[in-house]
Amino acid sequence: MRKDGSRFWASAVIDRITDADGRLVGFAKVTRDDTLRREADEALREAHALLEARVVERTQEAERRTREAETARAEALAASQAKSRFFSAASHDLRQPVQAVRLFFDLLAARLDGTDNQPIIEQAAQALATTEELLNSLLDVARIDSGAVSAAPRAVELAGVLTPLINELAPRGAAKGVALRYVPSKVQVHTDPTMVRRIVQNLLDNAVKYTEAGKILVGCRRRGDAVILEVWDTGPGIAEPHLHHIWDEFYQIGNVARERSEGLGLGLSIVQKLAATLGHRIEVDSVVGKGSVFRVVLR
């Protein structure tokens, strides 16, 4: 025990004593104090235990946060799927009354044709057409997201898909002074013709809507083992900051007031979703003031 009353541990060793020439002249017993070493060992053990406790605590905290995040993701996914299933199941019930309104409206319009009510009929017809377009777009997105839309790929000659579309949309372009041209092709691809038709229809709808002058060109070409279906337009073009967002739902360029006559901004979102379902890739290049080109890469 030290003079201050604290205990210490000591160890004894035997040292050899030699003279200047290195000859052994005797032995000496030396006592060494091991207190500092033992205190250091104890401090090291305490630090190690504290570190282990912190590691356990942080691991448990990370696991808790992971569980909470997984639960939140699962709940969000379940809510989204429930919404999509609802819209998908209600698709027929929602479309049926609108179709009935369209039937009665056409009968009424025929009776009032040539009367003073003609301007009102024309405005109502435009409003009804916009309603039908928006409803169909919403229901299409819901059906795709819910997995209700499945591809049925087969050998398809693209001319059989594109020619009717060009004939259908050419009058709309001509009414604006925009020429809609199609370069005929006999190329065949393995895809779902109904879904590809909807993809091209949405691309052409956008091109006709936003091109005020010039032309729209549709054609196909080969790139290695792929077939590239292209839609060119001489519209306003898309600025670089917008290019990565045009596929987002409800994203519209230049429609800050959210005019419903301009749609909901779902056309390109539907294009991307359908392309992903088919395993096709969508590419886009655009120059502001000169126009854009959208490419569907089919294999």
What pLDDT is attached to residue 14? 54
Distance CA 198, CA 192 (A): 10
Owner of token pair 């009367």: 115
What pLDDT is attached to residue 262? 53
What pLDDT is attached to residue 148? 67
Least reliable range by pLDDT among 100-109, 127-136, 273-282: 127-136
12: helix, coil or strand? strand
Q: Does residue 31 register a pLDDT over 90?
A: no
User: b/e for 66-102, b at 16 or more Cβ within 10 A?
Assistant: eeeeeeeeeeeeeeeeeebbebbeebeeeeeeeeeee
Owner of token pair 């590419």: 283
Least reliable range by pLDDT among 107-116, 159-168, 176-185: 107-116
What pLDDT is attached to residue 130? 78
Question: Among the CATH numbers 3.40.50.720, 2.10.109.10, 3.90.1150.10, 3.30.565.10, which is that of 154-298?
Answer: 3.30.565.10
What pLDDT is attached to residue 91? 66
- Residue 43's pLDDT band, with cuts at 50, 70 and 90, is confident
More confident residue, 297 or 83: 297
Tens-digit pLDDT profile for residues 189-210: 999 998 999 999 999 998 998 8
Least reliable range by pLDDT among 73-77, 149-153, 259-263, 266-270: 259-263
Distance CA 177, CA 235 (A): 13
- Residue 295's pLDDT band, with cuts at 50, 70 and 90, is very high
Measured in degrees and rounded to the nearest 5, phi and psi for residue 285 equal -130, 145
Tens-digit pLDDT profile for residues 121-149: 888 888 888 788 777 777 777 777 767 67
What pLDDT is attached to residue 47? 85
Distance CA 184, CA 197 (A): 16
What pLDDT is attached to residue 257? 38
> Which residue in 98, 291, 278, 297 sits closest to 206, CA to CA?
291
Tens-digit pLDDT profile for residues 217-237: 999 998 888 999 999 999 999
Whether the CB-CB separation of 297 and 280 falls below 8 Å is answered with yes
Task: Tell me the sheet residues that pair with 233.
Answer: 216, 292
- Residue 19's pLDDT band, with cuts at 50, 70 and 90, is low
Contacts of 140 (CB under 8 A, 6+ apart): 198, 266, 270
Residue spans per domain, the chain: 84-145, 154-298
Q: How far from chain centre, in Å, is Cα 96?
A: 31
More confident residue, 67 or 10: 67
